[in-house]
Amino acid sequence: DTGVSQDPRHKITKRGQNVTFRCDPISEHNRLYWYRQTLGQGPEFLTYFQNEAQLEKSRLLSDRFSAERPKGSFSTLEIQRTEQGDSAMYLCASSLARTGRTNEKLFFGSGTQLSVL
Amino acid sequence: SQQGEEDPQALSIQEGENATMNCSYKTSINNLQWYRQNSGRGLVHLILIRSNEREKHSGRLRVTLDTSKKSSSLLITASRAADTASYFCATDRSSSNDYKLSFGAGTTVTVRA
């Protein structure tokens, strides 16, 4: 257990439905990342937050995807009007970034496996 | 796009043997990290090597970094069945505002008992 929690672990939905995932990072971590992973591939960056500010969003992320991190604590990732191509593992990770230091290690949650039928 | 590429894609070895996998990347980096992922689970950090380091050890793991060739290797010595997993390298970019890690497609290691 890395200390990063994701909920739910599995989500099955029908095409066109909206889904929302939650991530609870390690409490003192100021950076939070969302990645997507499909079978046989490495994690693909979606977006990240420093505290409550969303600092970067992948160009691959369509307008149907939105993420929030209110108060710099937990984060939610919402996918609207799901498509079959959205089926993947959605991974959340957090890290503690110190001023003047580059990236330190990421702590990943166990992921939410999304299946769109 | 993925910055790193691992080689080989898959590796099958006998318990007790060493496993070596390589990672190549495209742009200048601040550090390179290796992660392990067991099937259906999240990734676990193994080791971080900074751009000014050439070699690092952690238990049965040995990582090398050659910034002139933009490549790294991960060696697992005396492998065990529990080492069966996918291994990913991850890099940042040395531009000041790019903090995200980019992952390769991974090497799947199977350790046979």
Considering only CB atoms, A103 lies closest to which of B30, B44, B88, namely B30
By three-state DSSP, how is residue A15 classified?
coil
CB A66 within 8 A of CB A53: no
| pLDDT per position as a tens digit, B20-76 | 999 999 988 888 999 999 998 899 999 999 999 999 999 999 999 999 999 999 999
**Contacts of residue A40 in chain B, CB cutoff 8 Å?**
105
A91 touches chain B (CB under 8 A): yes
> Can you give the pLDDT at residue B100?
83
Give the mutation candidate from A36, A102, A115 for the B interface (greatest B CB count, under 10 A): A102
Cβ distance of B42 and A104 shorter than 8 Å: no
Q: Show Cβ contacts of residue B113 under 8 Å, excluding neighbours closer than 6 positions.
A: B15, B81
Closest residue, chain B, to A58 (C-alpha): B1
| pLDDT per position as a tens digit, A60-94 | 788 999 999 998 899 999 999 999 999 999 999 99
What confidence tier does B97 reach under pLDDT thresholds 50, 70, 90?
Answer: low
What confidence tier does A103 reach under pLDDT thresholds 50, 70, 90?
Answer: low
Measured distance CA(B111)–CA(A101) in Å, rounded: 37
Looking at CA atoms only, how far is residue A106 from chain B in angstroms? 7
- Residue B111 scores a pLDDT above 70: yes
Give the mutation candidate from B25, B46, B95, B101 for the A interface (greatest A CB count, under 10 A): B101
How many CB atoms sit inside 10 A of residue B87's CB? 23
**Contacts of residue A104 in chain B, CB cutoff 8 Å?**
48
> Can you give the pLDDT at residue B40?
85
| pLDDT per position as a tens digit, A29-55 | 999 999 999 999 999 999 999 999 998
Q: What is the mean pLDDT of residues A88-113?
A: 87
First vs last C-alpha separation in chain A: 30
What confidence tier does B1 reach under pLDDT thresholds 50, 70, 90?
Answer: very low
Cβ distance of B44 and A40 shorter than 8 Å: no
Task: Give residue A88's identity as a one-letter amino acid code.
Answer: A
Task: Give residue A21's identity as a one-letter amino acid code.
Answer: F
